[in-house]
Amino acid sequence: MAKHIFVIGGVLSSLGKGIASSSIGLLMKKMGYNVVMQKFDPYLNVDPGTMSPFQHGEVFVTDDGVETDLDLGHYERFIGIPLNKNSNSTTGQIYEAVLKKERRGDYLGKTVQVIPHVTNEIKNLIRKIGKDNDIVITEIGGTVGDIESLPFLEAIRQFRMDVGIENSLFIYLTYVPFIKAAGELKTKPTQHATTKLREIGIQPDILLCRSERLFNDEIRNKIALFTNVQKSRVINAVDVATIYEVPKVFMQANLHEKICEHFHLTQNKIDFSDWDQIIDNIKNSEKEVTIAVCGKYVEHQDAYKSVGAALIHAAAANRMKLNIKWVDSEKTFSSEEIEKQLIDVDGILIPGGFGVRGIDGKIGIARYARENQIPFFGICLGLQIAVIEFAQNVCNLKEAYSSEFNEECQHPVIDLMEDQRYLEMMGGSMRLGAYPCKLKKNTLTHKIYGRKEISERHRHRYEFNNKYREIIEKNGMVISGISPDDFLVEIIEIPDHPFFIGVQFHPEFKSRPDKVQPIFRDFIKKAAKLKMNK
């Protein structure tokens, strides 16, 4: 049977439970175990698809087309394994399932209650994902003390009773703040948070204590004494320069050893050299490259989590230090302002987005990149913007627009496809998840991927309007990627430009530090090269 690791958070949010869980996943995987990961989100939304990026950050999409919490992006980037619908469940989903069963009469007239019906549903989800895997890491969203996470904590408390201590491990992430006035690290929040967890019936087996500074033995002893956790299992998760260093911190603290010990698993040697190289590239590269990311959520960078990660991976792979210049497309629309913002950047990226706000700024930015031969990478909405701009200013279709922004526009070069059978197949209007795409020979994209067919993940409603394919191609934009049935335009490029690519999918979802997404890699490479020649 699978060994289950539960990652719980105390004291406050934003301590990096997702990164901590992912780092544990990487270490277990590097020891040769089959790892799978899962997140429970305690909110009532059925999935994060309908939640604003301003509030909730990016919606991460899996191959099987599920809109999930952005932590799944961290999981995939660290453990390098594509996850699916079993890896993210929300309270909303769980209640929906329980209520459906109730309506169907499955509970045979019993009173339906949080315990045992909701908790059983949660336990089933944990068990289900454990099949065929050695290690399951389950992250419980929220912070201990929240009303919302109680059913999940209760479920995992029961789960330990069901499977035994040797098959379940509770890891608790807490915070040890440094109080400047006292000049000391303080253990009280960790003590109280652990008491709170014990009240719920869970005694943590391992503590991961986040802190700004390394703590000494005295602090460790104190935490161990008050929390009832063995001293050797109180691990100091000290702040590091890049999230990719966290597994190393855990490894140096022998966390993997403690986990194996607990589960009676063989502790295999970990080869960390590939990650060491990545960390070195991120931290110690001397040459810099500056990429403008132009969107409307730039003040909430969590909205572009995977784009930021993919850029970091790509810069590291080119041994470049990455500077991201976040450009607010709502504020940047006059040509003077665009030039002012973009004059010193080496590449321009327009990421995905929804709705009309900031659109004209983005069209101006795409034009600036095209006319000034600045490497350009448009993702999803970014492709649509590039097509609109090209239609308006090169094909002379002045009224070209997307029907998303103006239903009545004269030339909807980006439009909803009523007859699109893919959409019907998905049972909704959003094209979600992985789709295959054929690449056209002798194009830049083909050269970049070095393959004839690729698969990337989608999340959008609108498509390139085929009625305009001829005029757009005639004017020099090349369709370098298309669906296998030649129907859906997936990638465009402009050959008469050093690097101008737009993709209808989200390639950032599949970029990993040790397996960099090829378009990101070559976009950075080109930006860096042109910078050198300046």
**Considering beta carbons, is residue 368 or 462 the nearer one to ligand GLN?**
462
Question: Which CA distances in Å does 433 have to 95, 325, 404, 416, 506?
Answer: 25, 29, 21, 18, 9
CA 382 to chain centre: 19
Query: Any catalytic annotation for residue 262?
Result: no
Least gap, CB of 458 to ligand GLN (angstroms): 8
**Residues 477, 464: contact at Cβ < 8 Å?**
no
- Residues forming contacts to ligand GLN in the complex (CB under 6 A) are 352-354, 380-381, 404, 459-462
Closest contact distance (angstroms) between CB of 150 and ligand GLN is 35
In this structure, the dihedral spanned by the alpha carbons of residues 341, 342, 344 and 345, taken in order and rounded to 10 degrees, is 130
Q: Does 395 participate in catalysis according to the annotation?
A: no
Catalytic-labelled residue, pool 260, 294, 380, 395? 380
Question: Shortest approach of ligand GLN to residue 505 CB, angstroms?
Answer: 9
Is 508 known to be catalytic?
Answer: yes
| Contact between residue 411 and residue 395 where contact means Cβ atoms under 8 Å apart | no
> Among residues 160 and 431, whose Cβ is nearest to ligand GLN?
431
Q: Which CB sits closer to ligand GLN, 223 or 503?
A: 503
> CA 5 to CA 24: how far, in whole Å?
9
Give me the least distance between CB of 235 and ligand GLN, in Å please: 39
Q: At CA 35, angle to CA 57 and CA 453, rounded to 5?
A: 70
Give min distance, CB of 78 to ligand GLN, in A.
24
Cβ-proximal residue to ligand GLN, closest one? 352
Residue closer to ligand GLN by CB (options 219, 380) is 380
- Closest to ligand GLN by CB, 6 vs 509, is 509
The nearest distance, CB 268 to ligand GLN, in angstroms, is 41
What string of H, E and C letters represents the secondary structure of 373-415? CCCEEEECHHHHHHHHHHHHHCCCCCCEEECCCCCCCCEEEEE
Would you say 237 and 185 are in contact if contact means Cβ atoms under 8 Å apart? Answer: no
> Rounded to an integer, what distance in angstroms lies between the CA atom of residue 358 and that of residue 360?
6
Q: Which of the residues 74, 256, 411, 506 is marked catalytic? A: 506
Residue 360 or residue 404: which is nearer to ligand GLN going by CB?
404
Q: Are strands 178-179 and 168-175 parallel, antiparallel or unpaired?
A: unpaired
Active-site residue set: 380, 506, 508
